[in-house]
Amino acid sequence: MKKQGKQTYVLSSGVSIVAAHTLVGTKEKHGPLANYFKDYFTDDTFGQPTFEKAEREMLLTTITEMLKKNKINIDDIDIYIGGDILNQLVTTNYVAEQLQIPFIGAYSACSSVTESIALASALIDGNFCGKILCSACSHFSTAERQYRFPLEFGNQRQAYSQWTVTGAGCMLLSKEDSACPKVTKICFGKVVDYGVLDLANMGAAMAPAAADTLHTFFIDTNTTPTDYDLIATGDLGKLGSDIFRDLLAKDGINLGNNYIDCGHMIFNEDEQCMQGGSGAGCSASVFSGYIYTKLKEKKFKKVLLLATGALMSTTTNQQGDSIPAISHLIMVEA
Amino acid sequence: MKKQGKQTYVLSSGVSIVAAHTLVGTKEKHGPLANYFKDYFTDDTFGQPTFEKAEREMLLTTITEMLKKNKINIDDIDIYIGGDILNQLVTTNYVAEQLQIPFIGAYSACSSVTESIALASALIDGNFCGKILCSACSHFSTAERQYRFPLEFGNQRQAYSQWTVTGAGCMLLSKEDSACPKVTKICFGKVVDYGVLDLANMGAAMAPAAADTLHTFFIDTNTTPTDYDLIATGDLGKLGSDIFRDLLAKDGINLGNNYIDCGHMIFNEDEQCMQGGSGAGCSASVFSGYIYTKLKEKKFKKVLLLATGALMSTTTNQQGDSIPAISHLIMVEA
């Protein structure tokens, strides 16, 4: 592996994503990606007494189903790296307790999935580990009440707001040379803050961070958008992805038709999710369900995934601080 | 680098900790380690309007002072890895925004300092990076009100409770071969939960995780406590470190006189901190201030540091869940 430019790292021979799995809620299953979300729950409580326990059950089931389907023994996995958006990453921590393998907690809000995959790729490429499990997830009902309002309050949603995805995605990365999609480059983002203060306007807060990472990556690798089949941001939503396009256009970069946003494409317009989906489970489920499948089918050959995270807390927001954001990038090739 | 046993990784040639710095509050400055805490603030607000902003100012000052004293240019550092114990790691996120270098958020509560150092060591040893900045911190007044009670409530403290350390520690890791202390082995811990339910009894919740990691490390490396000058846990406090000793003794491991706990040694008994210090800043400041200095002076030659983290949230606690914990280990040699 070696550094390319300022922030990009090229992996020696690519790290295989040998398996991926996702599990979503009912709203996500009714969206445009229904065919790619094979497994889903019809009840967002997942049979649990609290939504926090439901989120945990969802993540644990996603991981155990992936291991079962791919006949992987948990004890053959060296490390588990993952994160979620609940305070203290409780969903992932409690699932890690169930799995009983070494665990590294990664937090960059909704960019946790690419942070985890990038870290795992680096550890495998550096010959530390053979196999690393990665995951990220979110649940509408736990996130809404933690970050915004109690569900019972039934507040009116702003036109520029997004809807937290109920979904979990996990992937198994391995050093084995396989025909599976491979992570070939990674780029860790910087924290960028354009001064957005509104907790409902996540897309606007995160777009500058994604633009910063992607622009840096293009300079580092001397490439342009047309060099990729697909460039996907995590959860900027419709408004955020428009801002993202505009910011890059101002720098002379035209994203063209190969650009999608996972948040923008996960819900139908009639689902009243305003600008689209958000949450760490958004890019994690769209990557595990849709993008990974297309990569395996060779429909996509070269993909850039930039999950996007807003890094504030409710406390900093109440104290008048603006919302810093970050976006970590991974390049995956079929 | 290669894997040794189940969870331990041996670094090829050791990763140098070329600089370390710490900044603490007044209570810590009045403790037994006063001589090792050269820089401190006499006012826990650090001149800021909120304690959250004070914690941020403390961390930023710690890092900028270390860079200044060691004549290091921030742009020469490849990546910043760090974490704290506030929701969404806001202290570290906002400081990362100031530093403007690529950032990886690490969360394992009060074990974040060894998680960060272990990750940084792996990335450097794998030839990804030349220089990585690590940090961890905590502040009594932000942590107490987030995890337990509002300060104004003035609650009576349980005899088995601990006092969150107001302190920040940072280190610069480098691949350059220097005479500085070197990280030579790392061991990522598993999440362990013995069923402790009391948020004030962190030591009891975390001791089993530290015992699990240390026991595994001894088996992996075929060593015993006498092979090290110092074995330091992060913030188990007096009670927690007694439980830690007992758990290991039951497994036939006698820790002897080389064992200390950073939380147990940071405050004087007359400071009414009950079992001692806690918080991510506890092991971070004791390592950066005391242990690192002793390693540089060759007073310690071979040290094991096991920072210890309790991974619950107030929500999971209120929902009746017990407290899972984790402990990541680093071995540092003079």
Domain segments of chain B as ranges: 13-174, 182-333
Determine, for residues A104 and B96 on separate chains, whether the beta-carbon distance falls below 8 Å.
no
pLDDT tens, position by position, B150-198? 989 988 899 999 999 999 999 999 998 889 999 999 999 999 999 999 9
pLDDT confidence of residue B210: 98
| Over residues B61-85, mean pLDDT | 98
The arithmetic mean of pLDDT across residues B98-110, rounded, is 98
Interface test with B, best of A12, A107, A125 (most B CBs within 10 A): A107
Q: Answer for the pair A110, A138: CB distance below 8 angstroms, yes or no.
A: yes
Helix (H, G, I), strand (E, B) or coil at A331: strand
Kindly provide the ipTM of the predicted complex, given to two decimals: 0.97
Q: For residue A333, give the 3-state DSSP assignment.
A: strand
How close B184 gets to chain A, by Cα (Å)?
A: 14
Classify A47 as helix, strand or coil: coil
Assign domain B13-174 to its CATH architecture. 3-Layer(aba) Sandwich (3.40)
Interface test with A, best of B316, B317, B319, B328 (most A CBs within 10 A): B316
User: Which residues, 6+ apart, have CB-to-CB distance to A217 below 8 Å?
Assistant: A7, A8, A185, A187, A223, A304, A329
Round to whole Å and give the CA distance between B291 and B297. 10
Share of chain A above pLDDT 90, in %: 93
Q: Is B83 on the interface with A (CB under 8 A)?
A: yes
| Residue A282 contacts residue A263 (beta carbons within 8 Å) | yes
| CB contact (8 A) between residue A90 and residue B315 | yes
Residues of chain B contacting residue A76, judged by C-beta atoms under 8 Å apart: none
Q: Is the Cβ of B53 closer than 8 Å to some Cβ of chain A?
A: yes
The predicted structure's pLDDT at residue A155: 87
More confident: B292 or B13: B292
In chain A, the DSSP E strands lie at: 2-4, 8-24, 39-40, 79-84, 103-105, 131-138, 163-164, 167-174, 182-187, 230-233, 259-261, 277-278, 302-310, 325-333
* Residues of chain A positioned with their CB less than 8 A from the CB of B321: 94
DSSP, residue by residue, A258-304: GEEEHHHHHS-GGG--TT-EESHHHHHHHIIIIIHHHHHTTS-SEEE
Q: Which of residues 292-331 of B touch A (CB under 8 A)?
A: 311-316, 319, 321, 324, 326
CB A332 within 8 A of CB A18: no
Q: What is the pLDDT of residues B4-18, one digit of tens each?
A: 999 999 999 899 999
* pLDDT reported for residue B311: 97
pLDDT tens digit sequence for B204-228: 999 999 999 999 999 999 999 999 9
- Please tell me which of the candidates A1, A87, A122 has its beta carbon nearest to residue B87: A87
Give the class (CATH, top level) of A18-174: alpha beta
> What share of chain B in percent tops pLDDT 90?
93
pLDDT per residue as tens digits for the range A225-261: 999 999 999 999 999 999 999 999 999 999 999 999 9
Considering only CB atoms, which chain B residues are within 8 Å of A193?
A: 97
What CATH fold (topology level) applies to the domain A182-333? Peroxisomal Thiolase; Chain A, domain 1 (3.40.47)
What mean pLDDT do residues A121-146 have? 95
B68 touches chain A (CB under 8 A): no
- Chain A hits for B97, CB-CB cut-off 8 Å, are 191-193, 324
Q: How far is B93 from chain A (nearest CA, A)?
A: 7
Identity at A312, one-letter amino acid code: M
Which tens digit of pLDDT belongs to each residue from A4-59?
999 999 999 899 999 999 999 999 999 999 999 999 999 999 999 999 999 999 99
Q: Does A108 touch chain B (CB under 8 A)?
A: yes
Closest-CA residue of A relative to B7 is A102
The answer to whether B50 contacts A312, with C-beta atoms less than 8 Å apart, is no
Q: What is the pLDDT of residue A1?
A: 78
Cβ(B26)–Cβ(B41) under 8 Å?
Answer: yes
Instruction: Give the Cα separation of B39 and B21 in Å (integer).
Output: 9
User: In the predicted model, is pLDDT for residue A128 greater than 90?
Assistant: no
Look at residue B270 in the predicted model and tell me its pLDDT.
83
Q: Looking at the complex, does the CB of residue B165 fall below 8 Å from at least one CB of chain A?
A: no
Per-residue pLDDT of A264-291, as tens digits, reads 999 998 888 999 999 999 999 999 999 9
Look up residue B190 and give its DSSP letter. Answer: P
Residue A311's pLDDT is what?
Answer: 97
CB contact, 8 Å: A1 with chain B? yes
Local confidence band at A154 (pLDDT 50, 70, 90 cut-offs): confident
Burial class (CB in 10 A: 0-12, 13-18, 19+), A102: buried
Residue B239: what pLDDT? 97
Q: Do B90 and A312 touch (CB under 8 A)?
A: yes
- Closest among A112, A172, A117, A118 to A9, alpha carbons compared: A118
Q: Is a pLDDT exceeding 90 seen at residue B63? A: yes
> Hey, is the C-beta of A82 within 8 angstroms of any chain B C-beta?
no
Closest alpha carbon to B83 in B20, B165, B170, B163: B170
Fold match between B13-174 and B182-333?
Answer: yes
- Please return the burial class of A124, using the count of CB atoms within 10 Å of its CB with bins 0-12, 13-18 and 19+: buried
- The answer to whether the beta carbons of residues A54 and A24 sit under 8 Å apart is no
For residue A298, what pLDDT is reported? 97
pLDDT band at B272 (very low <50, low <70, confident <90, very high): confident
Kindly tell me if the per-residue pLDDT of B74 is higher than 90: yes
pLDDT in tens, A166-188: 999 999 999 988 899 999 999 99
Does the pTM exceed 0.95? yes
| Chain B hits for A315, Cβ within 8 Å | 52, 86-87, 90, 146
The position carrying tokens 């190969």 is A258
Minimum-distance CB partner of B9 among A104, A128, A315: A128
A26-41 pLDDT, tens digit per residue, is: 999 999 999 999 999 9
Any CB–CB contact under 8 A between A124 and chain B?
no
Query: Is the pLDDT reported for residue B1 higher than 90?
Result: no
What pLDDT is recorded for position B4? 96
Residue A90 and residue B312: Cβ atoms within 8 Å? yes
pLDDT for the residue numbered A270:
83
Q: What is the mean pLDDT of residues B59-71?
A: 98
* Residue of chain B with shortest Cα separation from A145: B315
Summarize pLDDT for A58-73 with one digit per residue, the tens.
999 999 999 999 999 9
pLDDT at B269: 85
pLDDT digits (tens, 9 = 90+) for B45-58: 999 999 999 999 99
Backbone angles phi, psi at A322, to 5 degrees: -80, 175
